[in-house]
Structure 1
Amino acid sequence: MKYIKPLIISVSALFLLGLVLVIGTYFYIKADLPSVDVLKDVRLQTPMRIYTQDGMLISQYGVKRRIPLKLSEVSPKLIQAVIATEDSRFYDHPGIDPIGMMRALVNLVLTGEKGQGGSTLTMQLARDFFLTRDKHYIRKIREIVIAWHMEQVLTKDEILELYLNKVELGHRAFGFGAAAQVYYGKTVNELTLAQIATIAGLPQAPSVLNPISRPDRAVVRRRIVLLRMLDEGYINQAEFDEAAAAPVSAKRHGAEIELDAPYLADHIYNEMISIYGKEEAETGGYQVFSTVPSNLQIAAQQALQRNLHDYDERHGYHGPIRQLWENSEANKAPSTEEDDEKITGTDPKQWSEQQMSELLADYPTFESLHAAIVVKVNEQDIVVFDKQGQYRTIDWEGLDWARPFINDTKQGPEPKVASDILKAGAFILIRQREDDQHWQLAQYPEASSAFIALDPHNGAAQAVVGGYSFYQSQFNRATQAKRQVGSNIKPFIYSAALDNGYTLASIINDAPITQWEAGTGTAWRPENSPAEYDGPIRLREALTKSKNVVSVRLVRALGVNLVEKHLARFGFNLADIPNDETVSLGSGSHTPLEVVTAMATIANGGFLIQAHFIQRIEDDYGKLLWQVDPAYACDPCDKQAEETDSIAEPTETDVEAMLAAEFGLHQTPVSQQKTKRQAPRVISAENAFLVAEMMRSAVSINGRWENRGTGWRTALLLKREDVAGKTGTTNDVRDTWFSGFTPDLVATAWVGFDDSNRRLGRASANRNLVNKNPEKYNYIGNAMVETEAGAVAAQPAWIRFMQQALDGVPEHQLPMPTDLVTVRIDRNSGKLTSRTDKTSMFEYFVEGSEPQVFVAESEIIDSGDDDTKQAAEEIF
C-alpha cells in the first residue's frame, strides 16, 4: 500500500495538471477558434467562370483552380481512396484519432523528428482553413482543438465534402474536381481507378508527388494508395494489379474552354472587377453568363478575321518572315508517304527536320495561322514542313493571290509560278480557310477591325470582337477605340432634318460647295465620293447615295447647335461631337459600341437602349445571385404601363450616365423585379421609321444600277427586304464602317489601322482571283476594287455575320406608325403624280407633311427600262 498510495497521488496530480494545461491551452487559443457561423457557411476560393448565353465556357479567371462538388457528385471509389489513405477511421473518431496520435508520438520518441502528424481529415481541414503547415507544438494543439470543435458543429459528410473541395493538390488545383480537370481533363466520375489513386495520393505532398512534375514518385505513391484500398477491402487483387500497372497518363490541362472569345470575356471580367474588386471577383466562385449566344459570337469572329485576310491579301504579300537558307534546288515533291524522307537532304544548306521542328515549336502564332517552312518549290505548288512535323502541299489556289506588296496603294505583278512568290528555305505562315478547309499561304493582317452586335430591343450584346487576335493585342477596339465615323453619322443628321420640316421627298441641291475661311485664308470644299453631282435630289436618294454635300447643306440649314443636340439624343457624347459643319461628314470620333447603340434607336422605333453584356450571375453551386433588368424599347411595355407619346430630351449628364452604366441597368434582385421597364423615347416612332426606310434604300439596287445604294451588296447577298444599313468612309480612307440592322439585330463593323495616320489605300484588280469566281470576288472579296471604302473594307464582315445570324430567321418589319401615310410621288421632283409607271413611286410621309402640288408633265423624266435583275447583271 505504501507504493500504491503515492502512485495514486502522483497520477491524480498529473491528471489534474494535464487538465489544467488543457483548460489553460483552450482559453489561450479560444480566440483562434472559428465561429459556428463560419464553419456552417465556409466559402471556398473559387475562380470566376464566364459563359455564353447558352452555357459555353469562354474563360476562367483566378489563381486557384477549383470546381466545387457536392458529396453526392463524387465517385464512391474516390471517397474510398481518400479515406483509406488519409484517415481510415474517419467515421469512427471525434476529429482526433488516438491511435494515429500515439503512432506519431512513438515515431517522435524513436527518431526525434516530427515526421508524422497523426492528423485526421478533420485536423487537415482545420489546418488548411485556419492554420499553417509549420510544425510547432502550439500549432498542433490548436489544430486538435479546432478539429474537435468542427466535429461538434458539422456532420461527417459536411466535413468530408469540405475536405474534397478544399485540399491543395498541386498545379494550382484545389479540390479533387479541379485536380481531375488539371491532370486529366476529366470530371471526377470519368477517372479510372489508376487516376483516382494518383490524385488521392497528392494531399501528402502535392508539389513532389504530382504526376506531371514527378511521375516516378507519383507511381510509387499511387501504389501505396492502391495497397490501402486493397487492405480496406475497397478493391480486389485484379483491380489492384491492373491499376498499379497502368501507365502515367497525366498532362497539364487548361480550363475547359468551349469557345475562345477573349475580347468578350475580358470586357465582362473588367465589369466584374469594377463591381466586386479584383480579389473578390477572382475568388468568389461567380459564374457569369453573358448575353451573347455562342453561334453569333463564332459568326462574328470568323467574319472579322476572314474580312481582314481579304483586305490584306488584295493588297499583296509582304514576303516570308525570314529566309532560313538560300539557293535550294527543289525537285518535284514526293508522291508517296514512303518518299517523304527524300524531301530533306537534297540541299546541303537545307535544315534538318530537328532544326526546323525546334524553330517552329518556339514561334508564336495566333488564331488560324500556322508557322511552316518551305522545303520545295515546284512550278504551281510548294511543299512545307509544319509544326506537327508533317509535310503539306500548298497548291496554286493557295498561292496565286500573293502578288508583291509595294505600299498601301500599289501592288506588284500577279505571280505566274510559285517561284515568283517564294524560295525553298522560306519561313512562312499558312492558314486553312473556314469555308472549304483549303490550305493557303498567309500573313498577319496589318489592318485592324472591330465588330459588335446588339439586340435593339433591350441592348443585350449579341457579339463582341475587338480585333484580329486578343493574344496579339488586348486593346478592345469595339468598346474602347474612338475613331472618326464618316458617313455613318448621316442617318442621325437626316433624322434631325425630318424633325425640322424635311420629308423623304424634300429636294436638296447636290452641287459642289466652296466656303472661304477668312481666318485661315483657305477654302473648304467638301466633295462627294466619288466626285459626282446629281443636282436637285430627293432626301431619300441623297442618303441612299451618301451625298456628302447634301449632308453639309442640311447641317447648314438646321444649324450646328441643333444638330449637336439631336445627335446627343442617340447617346453620342456631346464632348465628342464637333461644333462646326464638319460634323456633317462624320468628323467626330466615337466607339463602335456608341455607333451600334445609336443605330439601335433607329432599328427599335426610337428608344435609347443601354448596351449590356451580362445576363445573370450565379454562385459556384448555381444559385442565382443577380439578373439583369434592362429597359426595353416598348411603348407601353405591359398593361400596367402608362401610355405616353412624349419624347425625352436627355441632357449631356443623362446620356453619359446611360452609357456609363453598361452593366447596371437596375441591378435588382430577381425576387424584386417587376414588369418590363421602358427605355426613354428619344425620337418619334415616325422619325425612326422614315430614317430606317432611307437606310433600306441605301442597301438596295433601287431599280436601275445607277440608283443603287452604297451598300448594294447587302441586297444581292442577303436577299431580304427587312435589312437597312449605312456605309461610312472618312477623308483619306483612314476609317471605314458599315452599320446595319433588322428589327431584331443591329451590328457595326469597323476597319482601319491602329495608326490613325495610315490610310487603307487602294488595290487594283487581281486577275488570278477574278478569273476563278467573278461573282464571289466582286460582291464580297478581293478583286474589283479601287479605293478602299466602307462598302469594300467593312461591309463584307457585316454581310458574312448576317448570313449566319439570319439563316432560317423569317423576315419581318416593324409596323408602320399610324401617323404615317403613303402617297404616289414623281421620282424626279418629289411632287404628287397621277402616273403609275416607272417615273413614280409610293413614299411615306407624316400625315399632313405630304406634298400638295402635282408634277407638271414637262417636269417628268422617263429614265427608261429599270428592271432590277438587268441592273444587277450590269455589275459584270
Structure 2
Amino acid sequence: MILFGIMTIAGIYFYLKDDLPDVTTLSDVRLQTPMQVFTADGELISQFGEKRRIPLKLEEMPPLLVQAFLAVEDTRFYEHPGIDIIGIFRAVTVVASSGDFSQGASTITQQLARNFFLSREKKIARKVKEIFLAFHIEQLLSKDQILELYLNKIELGQRSFGVGAAAQVYFGKTVHELTVDEIAIIAGLPKAPSALNPVRSASNARARRNVVLGRMLDTGVIDKATYQQAIAAPVTSRLHGAQITASAPYIAEMVRQEMVARFGEETAYSAGLQVFTTIQSKQQAAAKIALQQNLYNYDERHGYRGPVAQLWPAELTEAADAEAVYQETDPLSPADIQAYLDQQSGIEDLHSAVVTAVSAQSADIMLAGGQQVTLEWDGLKWARSFISDERQGVAPKTAYSILAPGMHILVRKSDEKWRLSQVPLPSSAIVAIDPHNGAIRSLIGGYSFSQSQFNRATQAKRQVGSNIKPFIYSAALEHGYTLASIMNDAPIHQWDDNAGIAWRPKNSPAVYDGPIRIREALAKSKNVVSVRLLRGVGVDNTIRHLQKFGFAASDLPRNETLSLGSASLTPLELVTGYATFANGGYLVTPYVIDKILDEDGVELYQHQPAVACRDCLAETETKAETAIDNEALLNDLFNTLETDAAADRNNAIVTESTAAPIAEHVISEQNSFLIADALKSSVWGGGDWQRGTGWNGTAWRVQSLKRRDISAKTGTTNDSKDTWFSGFTPDLAVTVWVGFDDSNRSLGRAQWHANMGQQQSAGAESGARTALPAWLSYMQTALQDVAEQQTPPPVGLASVRIDLKSGLLSRSNDHTSDFEYFKPGTEPTQYAGTDVQQISFDKSRDKKTDEEEIELF
C-alpha cells in the first residue's frame, strides 16, 4: 500500500509536471505596488494604483501581528515541509464523510502558491498542484522569506493587499499602531476578505475576530486578560485612503497624466514608482488656505444664498426684536437629525449642520456625530441676503432674519470659532514657480478638486486684462521708448469705418493725468497710454515681442485691444512670462516632476531643467535633451515594451549631464530689469506726499509685506469678468486668477455692509480687490523665512537724475527730480527748462488725434 501510494503520487506529479508554474520567479518577485507622489520635502500627495499595498520587511512587522496569522492560519508553519499532514487527513476525513470540500487544510506555503500561481476554485486537481508547488517553494525559499511574501501578497479586502495596506485601509494606522483586537480582525480576513472585513460587516468581522483571539489565547500568543480586553472592544472601522500629508490633488493629477504618458498605465500604476515633485508642502498649504479664504471673503461680500434645505417648517410668530417664538411643524428628533447628517458629505472644510434653535444674536446647531455647537453673532452678521452679483440686501440685525430651526446649513471653523458659510460660486487658481528654472512650487487649480477636476491653473485660458501691460511696455522699451518717455494720458476717440462706431478705450478709474512718464503710467495701469504705446510700436512688432515670452500667436488678438488685455492665457502661461522679468530675461519651462525612484529607492530619472543664467553669455544658449540616469534599471522596468517604443522611453529618462542646460535668453537683461523696477513703482508709488505730489500704484496694498524687492501688477477685464494679480521677487513668481467658470458672468460689485465696517471691501470687483488678497496671503507664508534681496542693475544701464514732470535731465536735487535708469544711448540729452522739449508723442494714423494731443500739451 505504501509502495502503491508512492507510485500514485509520483504518477500524478509527472502527469501535472508540465502544467506546474516555475516557482523560481518567487526569488525575484515584484509585488504590484501603487505609484506614490511626494512633495519636494517628502510629504505624500497621493498614490495611484488598483491594488493598495505597503510592502514591509518581516522585521518591520510587529511580532504579535505575525503570531496572530500563524495562530489562525498555520500553527506548525516552522515545522512542516510545506504541507500539513495532520490538516490534510482532517480535510480528507470531512470530504469522505460528508462530501464537503469547504474544509481547508492549506498551509501558508500552499496559500502563497495559490495566490501567485493558481485560482481559488475548490477542485482536487488544483489542490494537488498546490501541494507540489508548496514543496518546490519550500526548497527555494526560507521560512521567513515565505512568510514575508505571504503577509505582503495576501488579499485582505477593499483592494488592500498585505498587512501594511490593510492596517491603513481599515484603521488609518501603520502596523505598529494596531491594537490587539485590530490585529485579530486583520488576521481573520484571509478566510473570506470580502465578507469578513469590518467595513462590509461589523458583525461578521467581530465573530471572526473572536475566533482569531481564541486561537491566539490557545497558542499562548496572548494571555487571558489581554483576550478579555480585546474581545470586549467594539468593532469600529471605516475606509481610509492613503495617509496624505500634503494637499495637492491638482498636482497629483498632473503627475498621473505625465507618468502614464511616459511609462504606460500598467507600469505607472503597479511598479511601485516614487515620484518626487517640485512642490514645497508649506507653500502649497499656504496656497490652498489663501485661495479658499479669498473665495469665502468674496462670497460673504455678495450675500447669503440661503440654506441647503429646510427639513421641517418653522415660522416666526413673534417680533424679531425679542426672543422669538417659532411655530414648528413635525420637527425631527435628535436621533433623526443625526441620521440625516451622517448621510451628508462635506466639501473641503465645510460641514453640514442642522439648526435646532435660534435666538436674537446666535443659533444652536447640530453637527454630524451629534455634536451641539452655537453660532455666535460674529459668525452670522455677514449674512445679508444675496440678490444678484451687483446687489445685496440690508445688513441683518438679528439671527432671526438669517436662520430658522430645521435649516440644513453649511458651517466652517474660522479662528477656532464656527461660522455660517456656503460653497463659493466663483473659481480661482494660484500658481507659483521658481523663475530660475521653472520649478512649480505651488499650484491650486480650483476651490475643490472633488467638486471639479478642471485645472484652471493649466487649462483655463482667460483674458488677462492689465496683466498684459508689462509685456506691452517691454516691447516699447525695445523700440526706443524709455521709462522717462512722456505719453499723453488723455481719452482716445477713434472712428472705425468698418464697424461704423467709435472706439473709446478708457482708464479705470476714468482719471486722466495728461502728460505722464511711462514708469508712472505702468504703475497706475493707464489704459490709454498702453494703447498709444501699442500704436507707437505697431501691432505686429508687439505680437512678435510677446511671443518671446512663450505666448502663442493664436492667443494674441491682432488689434489694439491687445494693449488692454484681450489676450487669453492660462495662469501658468502668464506666470511663466512674468518669471522672465524676474530672472534677467530667460524663458524657463515650468515642470513639476523632479525625480523618479523605483520601489527600492533607486533613482530612475532626474529632471535637468534649463536654467536662467545671469552669469552666462547669451551666445552660450543651448537646448539640452533630458538624459538617462540608469538605463539598465529602466530597461528592466520596460521589459514588456517593444523596440518601436524606444523613442517614447527616451522621453521618460535622462542621461547624466556635466552642466545644466541654459534657458533661452529672450529679452535683454536690461529690458527685464527696467520692467521689474517699474513694477516696484506699482507697489510703492512715487512723488512726495508731504508736498502734494505723491501717488500710489495699483498694487499699493503689497506695501503691507514691507519689502522692497517685490514687483507686481493688477489685472481686470471688462465688466470684471476676470481678475488677476501677478507679482514676483528674484526667487519666486506668483499669479492669482479669480473669476466664474462661465466666462460671460461678471464678478459684480459689493455694496457697503453696515455690519462689517473695515473688514469689508466695497465696490466693483477688480484685480486689486479680488485677486490681490489671495496673493498677499500666500506670499506672507512663502516669504516668511526669505531675506529681502535687491537685484543689482545689469552692466550697461545708466542712472541719471531726471525732472519728474518732463522726463528730461534735471539739475535740481529736490522733490521735483529723481534718478531713472536708461539703456545706453537712450538717456535724455536736454535739461528741463530749456527751449527744446523731448516729449514722446503717439504716432497715430489718425491725424486729428495727434493734433488733439499737441493742443492738450
Cα distance, 1:856 vs structure 2 = 0.9
1:633 pairs with 612, 617, 629, which one?
Answer: 612
Could you tell me whether the CA contact under 8 Å between 2:621 and 2:663 is conserved in 1? no
Q: Is the 8 A contact 1:629 1:667 kept in 2?
A: no
Residue 110 (1) aligns with residue 87 (2)? no
Q: Does 1:378 align with 2:359?
A: yes
The aligned residue for residue 805 of structure 1 is 782
User: CA–CA distance in 1 between the matches of 2:26 and 2:141?
Assistant: 7
Query: Structure 1 residues 378, 97: CA separation in 2 closer, same or farther (over 3 Å shift)?
Result: closer
Whether the 8 Å CA contact 1:831–1:855 is kept in 2: the answer is yes
What pairs with 1:276-291 in structure 2 (closer than 5 Å)?
Answer: 276-291=263-278
Give the residue type in structure 2 aligned to 1:734.
Answer: K
The CA distance in 1 between the partners of 2:418 and 2:306, in whole Å, is 17
Quote the residue 1:672 is aligned against: 656
Alignment partner of 1:205 is 2:196: no
User: After superposition, what is the alpha-carbon deviation per residue over 1:295-326, rounded to whole angstroms, capped at 9, x for unaligned?
Assistant: 11111111111111211222222233344413
**Structure 2 partner of 1:835:** 812
Change (3 A) 1:422 1:247: closer
The partner residue of 2:699 within 679, 701, 711 is 711
Report how far residue 346 of structure 1 moved: 7.6
- Retained in 2: the 8 A contact 1:630–1:665? no
Q: CA deviation at 1:646?
A: 6.7
**Structure 1 residue identity aligned to 2:73:** E
Partner of 1:465: 444
> Which one of the candidate residues 17, 23, 29 is aligned to 2:14?
23
In 2, the alpha carbon distance for the partners of 1:25 and 1:635 equals 72
Query: In the alignment, is the contact (CA less than 8 A) between 2:314 and 2:327 conserved in 1?
Result: no
Deviation at 1:275, TM superposition (A): 2.2
Question: Cα–Cα, structure 1 residues 227 and 696, in superposed 2: closer, same or farther, change >3 Å?
Answer: same
Equivalent position of 1:512 in the other structure: 491
Contact 1:78/1:200 (CA < 8 Å) preserved in 2? yes
Q: Could you report, residue by residue, the CA deviation over 1:3-55 in whole angstroms, capped at 9, with x for unpaired residues?
A: xxxxxxx876775565344223213x14xx1363x322212222222222222
Partner in structure 2 of residue 872 of structure 1: none
Show the counterpart of 1:732: 719
Aligned to 2:846: none
What residue is the counterpart of 1:410 in the other structure? 391
Aligned mate of 1:821, from 767, 790, 798: 798
SS in 1 for 2:665: coil
**What secondary structure sits across from 1:836 in the alignment?**
coil
Kindly provide the amino acid, as one letter, of the partner of residue 159 in structure 1: I
Instruction: Tell me the equivalent position of 2:315.
Output: 327
- 1:832 aligns to what SS in structure 2? coil
Counterpart selection for 1:555 from 525, 534, 554: 534
The answer for the alignment partner of 1:874 in structure 2 is: none
| Cα distance in structure 2, aligned partners of 1:26 and 1:829 | 98
How far did residue 84 of structure 1 move? Answer: 2.9
**Unaligned stretches of 5+ residues in structure 2:** 625-647, 838-857
Q: Secondary structure at the match of 1:480?
A: coil
8 Å contact from structure 2 (residues 485, 518) kept in 1? yes
Q: Distance in 1 between matches of 2:105 and 2:553?
A: 70
In structure 2, relative to structure 1, the CA distance for the partners of 1:345 and 1:564 (3 Å cut) is closer
- Kept in 2: contact 1:454–1:463 (CA 8 A): yes
User: Mean Cα displacement is larger for which, 49-58 or 706-715?
Assistant: 49-58
> How far 1:232 moved relative to its partner?
4.1
- Following TM superposition, by how much is the alpha carbon of 1:89 offset from its aligned partner in structure 2, in angstroms? 3.0
Q: Retained in 2: the 8 A contact 1:400–1:415?
A: yes
**CA drift at 1:412:** 2.4
Q: Tell me the equivalent position of 1:543.
A: 522
Of residues 101-110 and 69-78 in structure 1, the stretch that sits farther from structure 2 once superposed is 101-110
Indicate how the Cα distance of structure 1 residues 294 and 330 shifts in structure 2: closer, same or farther if over 3 A, else same.
farther
In the alignment, the residues of structure 2 paired with residue 73 and residue 150 of structure 1 have an alpha-carbon distance, to the nearest angstrom, of: 23
Q: Take 1:431 and 1:819, find their aligned partners in 2: how far apart are those partners?
A: 55
Q: Distance in 2 between matches of 1:824 and 1:648?
A: 39
> Offset of 1:58 from its aligned partner?
2.6
Question: Is the alpha carbon distance of 1:14 and 1:71 closer, same or farther for their aligned partners in structure 2, counting shifts above 3 Å?
Answer: closer
Partner of 1:722: 709
Q: Deviations over 1:129-172 (max 9, x none)?
A: 12110112222233233333333333322221111101011222
Determine whether 1:528 maps to 2:501: no
**DSSP-derived class of the 1:564 partner:** helix
Of 557, 572, 588 in structure 2, the residue corresponding to residue 609 of structure 1 is 588
- Kept in 1, the 8 Å contact 2:34–2:51? The answer is yes
Counterpart in the other structure of 1:304: 291
Q: In the TM superposition, what is the alpha-carbon distance from 1:807 to its structure 2 partner?
A: 1.7
Aligned-partner residue type, residue 210 of structure 1: N
Q: Residue 646 and residue 496 in structure 1: after superposition, are their counterparts in 2 closer, same or farther (change >3 A)? A: farther
Q: Distance in 2 between matches of 1:424 and 1:100?
A: 65
What secondary structure sits across from 2:130 in the alignment?
A: helix
Moved over 6 A (4+): 330-335, 343-346, 646-650, 663-666, 857-860
Among 671, 686, 695, the alignment partner of 1:687 is 671
Deviates more, 1:485-494 or 1:802-811: 802-811
Q: 1:188 aligns with which of 154, 175, 194?
A: 175
Q: Could you tell me how far 1:751 is from its partner in structure 2?
A: 0.7
**What SS class does the counterpart of residue 633 from structure 1 fall into?**
coil
- Deviation at 1:611? 1.1
1:428-459 CA distances to partner (integer Å, 9 max, x unpaired)? 322222xx233332222211111111111111
Query: Residue 367 in 1 paired to residue 353 in 2?
Result: no
Shift of 1:737: 0.3
TM-score (norm 2): 0.88
Shift of 1:183: 2.4
Distance in 2, matches of 1:330 and 1:256, equals: 52
Shift of 1:231: 4.5
Q: 1:674 to 1:35 in 2, by over 3 A?
A: farther
**What secondary structure sits across from 1:477 in the alignment?**
coil
SS at match of 2:106: coil
User: Is 2:55 the partner of 1:55?
Assistant: no
TM-score, with normalisation over the residues of structure 1? 0.87
Which stretch has the larger CA shift, 159-168 or 348-357? 348-357
Q: Secondary structure at the match of 1:170?
A: coil
Deviation at 1:555, TM superposition (A): 1.6
Out of 105, 112, 123, which is 1:125 matched to? Answer: 112
Residue from 30, 34, 40 that aligns with 2:22: 34
AA aligned opposite 1:255: A
Which secondary structure state, in structure 2, belongs to the residue aligned with residue 479 of structure 1? coil
Structure 1: unaligned runs, 5 residues or longer: 1-9, 336-342, 637-641, 651-662, 861-876
* Residues 592 and 748 in structure 1, CA contact (< 8 A), matched pair in contact too: yes
Alignment of 1:238-317 (within 5 A): 238-317=225-304
Letter in 2 for 1:73: E
2:343 is the alignment partner of 1:357: no
Query: Which secondary structure state, in structure 2, belongs to the residue aligned with residue 626 of structure 1?
Result: strand
When structure 1 is superposed on structure 2, of 823-832 and 188-197 the one drifting more is 188-197
Correspondence list, 1:568-607, <5 A: 568-607=547-586
What amino acid is aligned across from residue 87 of structure 2 in structure 1?
G
Q: CA deviation at 1:281?
A: 2.4
Structure 1 residue matching 2:411: 3-state secondary structure: strand
| Preserved CA contact (<8 Å) 1:328 1:350 | no
